[in-house]
Amino acid sequence: MRLYPWPDATVAGEVEAEELRKVAQAQWPKPWAAWGFDAADLGGPGTATLAVLEGDAVAHVERTLGRQVEWRQTGVGLREAVGRALG
């Protein structure tokens, strides 16, 4: 899963398909925050992306899963990622 935690870091970590579904179904701690996945089939192969515009996405994912995830920096910031998506 690629994770865009607000505001400027982009990280990646390994999660199982069932864990990804659990995160997708979990209620975000701040109901007004904008967030979402890019994958239509969250259990399919490949990389799913979770973008979050408010709140600590890393803490939310780990709290939801009940475990720590080994996140690694991707070297891409949120602004650059949005620029790529819109470009």
Q: What is the pLDDT of residue 80?
A: 75
Whether the CB-CB separation of 81 and 73 falls below 8 Å is answered with: no
Q: Is the pLDDT assigned to residue 6 strictly greater than 60? A: no
What are the residue boundaries of the structural domains of the chain, listed by start?
2-86
- Secondary structure element (H or E) that encloses residue 17, with its range: helix 17-25
Q: What is the pLDDT of residues 19-58, one digit of tens each?
A: 888 888 888 777 766 676 765 555 566 777 777 666 678 8
Read off the tokens for 73: 């920096």
